[in-house]
Amino acid sequence: MFLFQVFDLNLDNCRSTSIVGLTDEFTNLETLSLINVGLTSLKGFPKLPNLKKLELSDNRISGGLNLLQTSPKLTHLNLSGNKIKDLATLEPLKEFKNLKNLDLFNNEATSIDNYREKVFNLIPSLKYLDG
């Protein structure tokens, strides 16, 4: 197969609690959508060096964001509707120098006092939060 020719991949609603079948062979993948899959972990997340947009909304992810660091070009990350409870979970995202858009809507962490200010301070490259 010519997996290096795949630029956009949509696996929405394909039920799985873990990432299975996605490999490092998707070297040119720029957009990956895993909405409402049932993911509880990012364990097994492949090295996707050209990934720019990652949709992970409506899963059950509560941590492990450091596993995304093999995708340094990430500009958009949607984690809305997950199980992120605190800002410490977001710490690995400060390493993403290109991250401009982050959606955390409908996560417990959004109820923390001064949540927006704290997230913008944590991730200096961020331009848009929850919208």
Q: pLDDT tens-digit profile of 1-51?
A: 566 688 999 999 987 777 777 788 888 999 999 999 999 999 999 999 999
Q: What are the structural domains, with CATH classification, of the chain?
A: 3-129 (3.80.10.10)
Q: pLDDT tens-digit profile of 51-96?
A: 999 999 999 999 999 999 999 999 999 999 999 999 999 999 999 9
* Assigned token pair, 3: 């997996």
pLDDT for residue 19: 79
Quickly list DSSP for the chain: --GGG--EEE-TT---SS--S--TT-TT--EEE-TTS--S--TT----TT--EEE--SS---S-GGGGTT-TT--EEE-TTS----GGGGGGGGG-TT--EEE-TTSGGGGSTTHHHHHHHH-TT--EE--
pLDDT for residue 2: 61
